[in-house]
Amino acid sequence: MGYAPSALALVPFVSVENMMRIVHAVGIERFLAALAGYIEEDFRRWELFDKTPRVATHSREGVIELMPTSDGESYGFKYVNGHPKNTKEGRQTVTAFGVMAEVDTGYPVLITEMTILTALRTAAMSALAAKFLAPEGARSMAIIGNGAQSEFQAVAFRSLVGIDRLSLYDIDRTASERCAKNLAGRGFDIAVCASPEAAVEGADIVTTVTADKQYATILTDNMVGPGIHINAAGGDCPGKTELHRDILLRSSIFVEYPPQTRVEGEIQQLEKDHEVTELWQVITGKAAGRAGRDQITLFDSVGFAVEDFSALRYMRDLIRTTPYFDELDLLADPDDPRDLFGMLMRAAALPA
């Protein structure tokens, strides 16, 4: 008789294929809205979480990171990379997977792909921040940088904020045209622009989400008028920025976790004591968000482990209602927990 692990030894695993099935079964806008809801719930209990800047290994070509956190009951981490050169080799710039485990036993309860889930999580986080920071009645958004994240951002902002007019710009016009094609039929009025200046003109919200790992000036100071909300989602590691420093000095800046953002975000250009507001404080009402019509608000988004925890928590709950997962024989399950060696030796008699 072969080895038969108990149910306790089987860990749910969501593959890329099954993640896509789940998103389509739920519907992408409903999925993004629900995911944003989980993130908001966790930001409202922010103080419960263990928090640390992500553990990063940097190279000339990119970065590999681990992003752990716990709320005392569950533990989650994400493995993620960022390698802008990969697209030239036909590979993804960002890939990821994640694990959620029980704190009281240490046993994993979920393993999932997070390449697609991170794209969804990043967009949901951006739109959630805009719900609290964007000008009232915002309908138009410029997206500067039309790589893999751009469509997710657009759909999330439509779902949570009500954006229905898009201006797209990328140095590679074919990227903008692909984005426009992918978003066709989703209720947007879309313009593909010849310059970032043309894209930004008249926009209520500007999202910058470029991939190059360098100090860049995607937005110059003269491009940013009063009352705009900037969703700076592309500057997410040391040595990588998108906004001119003068924009930061004119803006009310909101961040996820300052010790991480000061190293990786747009504010790495500023003095370490420059005032910023943590977004969880705005969500819980402990700090003001948008306070005036002409105020420039800036969400300096780098992505934080609590958001990935929320995504893992959402998936853990969601797979209880769907058949779209596999079970992995991941955990040793001897009859006697102290007899791991005996289980190994008995395996010699199992058929090949």
CATH superfamily of 7-116+306-349: ornithine cyclodeaminase, domain 1 (3.30.1780.10)
Contact between 313 and 100 under an 8 Å Cβ cutoff? The reply is yes
d(CA 274, CA 194): 35
Confidence bin at 1 (pLDDT 50/70/90): very low
pLDDT per residue as tens digits for the range 235-262: 666 777 889 999 999 999 999 999 999 9
**Is 236 tagged catalytic?**
yes
Query: In this predicted model, what pLDDT tens digit does every residue of 281-322 receive, in sequence order?
Result: 999 999 999 998 899 999 999 999 999 999 999 999 999 999
Mean pLDDT, to the nearest integer, of 7-21? Answer: 92
Average pLDDT of every residue of the chain? 93
Unique residue bearing structure tokens 């190293």: 263
> How many angstroms separate the most distant Cα atoms in the chain?
75
The superfamily CATH assigns to domain 135-303 is: NAD(P)-binding Rossmann-like Domain (3.40.50.720)
Residue 69 tokens read as 């956190």
The burial of 338, by beta-carbon neighbours within 10 Å (0-12 exposed, 13-18 middle, 19 or more buried), is given as exposed
| Torsion, CA 343, CA 345, CA 347, CA 351, rounded to 10 | -160
- Torsion over CA: 115, 303, 234, 287 (sign): positive
Q: Give the pLDDT of residue 335.
A: 87
Structure tokens that stand for 260 in this block: 């991480």
- Helix (H), strand (E) at residue 248: helix 245-250
Strand partners, 297: 229, 252
Q: What's the 3-state SS for 115-127? A: HHHHHHHHHHHHH
With the CA atoms of 171, 172, 178 and 180 taken in that order, what torsion angle do they form, in degrees rounded to the nearest 10?
Answer: 30
The active-site residue out of 42, 170, 204, 236 is: 236
Measured CA to CA, the distance from residue 190 to residue 184 in angstroms comes to: 8
Residue 14 near residue 113, CB atoms below 8 Å: yes
Residue extents of the structural domains in the chain:
7-116+306-349, 135-303
- Give residue-wise pLDDT tens across range 136-176: 999 999 999 999 899 999 999 999 999 999 999 999 999 99
290, 96 Cβ separation under 8 angstroms: no
Q: Is the pLDDT of residue 84 over 90?
A: no
CB 109 within 8 A of CB 11: yes
Gap between the Cα atoms of 101 and 257, Å rounded: 23
The pLDDT, as a whole number, for residue 239 is 76
